[in-house]
Each structure stands twice: as structure tokens, then as C-alpha cells.
Amino acid sequence: EALIAAVCAAPKAELHVHIEGTLEPELAFALARRNGVALRWPSSEALRAAYAFDSLQSFLDLYYAGCDVLRTEQDFFDLAWAYFQRAAADHVVRAEVFFDPQSHTARGIGFDVFMPGLLRAARRAQDELGMRADYILCVLRHLSEDDGLATLEAASPWREHIIGLGLDSSERGNPPQKFARLYAQARAQGLRLVAHAGEEGPAASVRDALDLLGAERIDHGVHAADDPALVRRLAAEGVALTVCPLSNVKLRVFPDMAAHNLPALLHAGVKVMVNSDDPAYFGGYVNANYRALLAAHPALDSADAYRLLRNSLEASFAPAGPVAAWA
């Protein structure tokens, strides 16, 4: 209990959070009303009750449906500002936030709508909350590589405001090699590279994200544990895994929190850290993830907890400065 309280109060970085996954049902209904959009659920309580998932795909179907209420610059500002306030309450000093442009451009909502809103919220987070926040453009892997390349091209006017490229959505049937040209392009532009891998997919997709895409950090990556040689490599090379405990339990990657392999990965020397992924859907923000993990794994001690917090700061792409100083 004392350890959990200390961890919750400690400065930390959040490196794996999807801004569209921070849309709380109450805000979804407020935006639906403001924009005259009909939702399939009668109330925010009914929508929240629908958050019972049995797989990544069952979650994604709801997540993309929720995006439909996001229409205006102000909507994206309100979404991101709500997240930054919640993150600050959890003592997040650095946030690297994913956004999914294709879930908006496919509805006719362009970069000129969502980027100004997202960026205005990040500037306010810096000014009023002292939080350093940056955005990582995530490409949807269930769409074609050409669609991803067109999205990167459409982002070029905003290039200086985007720190990296990520890859998310349905992992099954959409392996890293599908996006080799996209990652080569992004690397040539100086973007930092991350990719979701080994969430529902196998250890081999974690290896392919490193070797075929040049990913510097792996989002989730928990299935790397199935390959002992890969675990040794991740530890030796200091590759960070941005693990999301509540997400993994909600999406049945593990049957319960006690079965989560984060402690095993940590003790094998892998640079794991704790994140919220889609906190509005999975039952909590980053401190709730630390709390659930530590409560289910009483063998994790203060040195382990300190290592997780420190990993989060060290694995950040923030330039030298205030964030590096925390680590």
C-alpha cells in the first residue's frame, strides 16, 4: 500500500496512449450532442456497459465507432486537454501520444482540423501543467501500405510537430513486413520509429518489427517472452517494451493480472514500463495500471517499481532537458 502510494505520486512518463482511446463515454455523448451525431447507445452508462471485450478486434470495432463524434478542432482539443489533465493528476511529466489520422481522414476530417486541436492542447499542457507532450502518428495496419504512405505524405505540413511513426490496429494478418517501405520513408524523414507488435501476434513479429522496420521501441511486445533468445536480445540491446497491463487483461492477452508476464520480463532485464493504452475503455489511466499490476504481484518490490518508473523516463524520446533530468 505504501509502495503503491509512492509509485502513484512519482514523476513518470507515459509512452503508449492512443488519444482516441481517452474518449470517455460522457465526453462522447457531449460531443455527439454538440455535433448532432447519433450514437448507437441510449446513454453514457449504456455505452460504458458495452465495454466488455473478448479480443483486440471486439475492442477496435467500438473504438472506431467512438471516433465518429470527433468532428471539429475544438473536439480534438477537448479530447486531448481532458487526457493531459488526467495524466498530470497521475504525475505524468512526459507524454508521447498516439493519434490515428486514418480514422479521421476516412470520415472527411483532415489534418487541418485535428492537428491544430491536438497541438493547442499540448501547448496548454506545457504552459499550465508543466507537462512535455509530443505526438506519434500511428498508421492503421489493417489498411494498405499505400494508404499509410499517403497518410505520411498528408502529414508533411505538420512534420515538425510529429516526433514519430507508429503502427496499430489488427495485428493478425498484418505483419511488420507489410510496412517496410513506409518505415524506410519515415526514417529518411528523421521520425522516431515504434510499432505495436507481440500483443496478439507472436514473438517473431516483435523480431520483425526490429529487423524489418527498424522500430526503436515495441508497443506491448509481451509475446516476446515466448522466445528466450529474443528476450536476451531485448535485454542486451536495451529495447523498451511499452506494456499496458489493464489493456492486456481486458483484451484477454492474459487471463488475469496475476498471470501477466511483466514481472518476468522485468526480472529478465528487459526495459519494460507501464502505460494505459486506451484508458477510457480499459478501466483506468496510468496510475490505475501501476496499482493493478503491483496489487496482483506482491513480489514486486520498491526496487522493481523504481526500475519501471525510471524505464519510462529513459525510454522517452524527449530531448535532453527537464524529462532527462527526472531520470
Q: Active-site residues: which are they?
A: 199
| Cell triple for 99 | 493519434
Query: Cβ(166)–Cβ(130) under 8 Å?
Result: no
Name the residue number minimizing CB distance to ligand ES4: 168
Angle formed by the axes of helices 25-35 and 73-89, nearest 10°: 160
Residues ≥6 apart with Cβ < 8 Å to 148: 102, 139, 140, 179, 182
Centroid of chain to Cα 127: 23
Query: Cβ(178)–Cβ(145) under 8 Å?
Result: yes
Give the CB-side neighbour count of residue 146, counting CA atoms within 13 A. Answer: 0
Looking up cell 526490429 gives 210
By C-beta, is 24 or 168 nearer to ligand ES4?
Answer: 168
Residues numbered 54-83 forming contacts with ligand ES4, rule: CB under 6 A: 56, 63
Smallest separation (angstroms) from ligand ES4 to the CB of 199: 6
| Residue 279 in contact with ligand ES4, rule: CB under 6 A | no
| Residue 21 in contact with ligand ES4, rule: CB under 6 A | yes
104 is in an annotated binding site: no
Give the CB-side neighbour count of residue 296, counting CA atoms within 13 A. Answer: 19
Smallest separation (angstroms) from Zn ion to the CB of 141: 12
16 is in an annotated binding site: yes
Size of the site for ligand ES4 (CB under 6 A): 11
196 is in an annotated binding site: yes
| Residue 16 in contact with ligand ES4, rule: CB under 6 A | no
The strand ranges marked E within 169-236 are 192-197, 217-220
| Residue 17 in contact with ligand ES4, rule: CB under 6 A | no
Query: Cβ(155)–Cβ(143) under 8 Å?
Result: no
Residues binding Zn ion (CB under 5 A):
277
> What span, in angstroms and rounded, lies between the C-alpha atoms of 4 and 290?
8
Centroid of chain to Cα 126: 20
Q: Which residues pair with 241 in a beta bridge?
A: 218, 272
277 is in an annotated binding site: yes
| Residue 96 in contact with ligand ES4, rule: CB under 6 A | no
By C-beta, is 28 or 218 nearer to Zn ion?
Answer: 218
| Cell triple for 313 | 523516463
**Binds ligand ES4 by CB under 6 A, chosen from 7, 12, 13, 18:** 18
In 3-state terms, what secondary structure has residue 217? strand
**Binds ligand ES4 by CB under 6 A, chosen from 86, 94, 196, 217:** 196
| Residue 311 in contact with ligand ES4, rule: CB under 6 A | no
| Residue 14 in contact with ligand ES4, rule: CB under 6 A | no
Smallest separation (angstroms) from ligand ES4 to the CB of 308: 19
Name the residue number minimizing CB distance to Zn ion: 277
**Binds ligand ES4 by CB under 6 A, chosen from 14, 75, 90, 277:** 277
Nearest to 185 by CA among 221, 160, 220, 148: 148
| Residue 166 in contact with ligand ES4, rule: CB under 6 A | no
DSSP designation for 277: B
By C-beta, is 78 or 168 nearer to ligand ES4?
Answer: 168
By C-beta, is 96 or 277 nearer to Zn ion?
Answer: 277
**Binds ligand ES4 by CB under 6 A, chosen from 169, 174, 287, 289:** 169
Nearest to 308 by CA among 276, 261, 262, 277: 262
**Residue numbering of the annotated binding site for Zn(2+):** 16, 18, 196, 277
**Residue numbering of the annotated binding site for substrate:** 278
**Residue numbering of the annotated binding site:** 16, 18, 196, 277-278
| Residues at the interface with ligand ES4 (CB under 6 A) | 18, 21, 56, 63, 168-169, 196, 199, 247, 277-278
